[in-house]
Amino acid sequence: MDEEEYSNKYVNLRILKSIHEYLKVPENKHTAVYPIRIPDDLLYQLLKLKGAQGADGVIHQIFRLGLSIWSEKLYNTVFGSQRNLEDFIELVKKRNKENK
């Protein structure tokens, strides 16, 4: 594995790890990024049905679901299997030991 491929996989591993940590905690105290784009009528109907806090919760659920699907696709694209992921993690550990 050349250095560019290693760096790319390492960045993707960090992304997947952060997503995993984010999705583990039901109420996240993470950074909020605005604005997000959603259909106007979706927001309007959610506000009517659930109020502001309820609408925010539904939008967050939609985001978490999309994030889960996207991270699964990223995992499959970058690593493809649990074995490949484990092998790469071992390589990272080995490199970290060598660099200390």
pLDDT average per 10 residues of sequence, the chain (100 residues): 92 93 76 79 93 91 93 96 95 90
Distance CA 34, CA 57 (A): 15
Q: Where are the domains of the chain?
A: 3-26+41-99
Centre a 10 Å sphere on the Cβ of residue 75 and count the other Cβ atoms it contains: 20
The phi, psi pair for 16, rounded to 5°, reads: -60, -40
Q: 39: cis peptide before it, omega within 30°?
A: no
Please provide the size of the chain in residues. 100
Q: 35: cis peptide before it, omega within 30°?
A: yes
Distance CA 32, CA 63 (A): 12
Provide the whole-model pTM.
Answer: 0.77
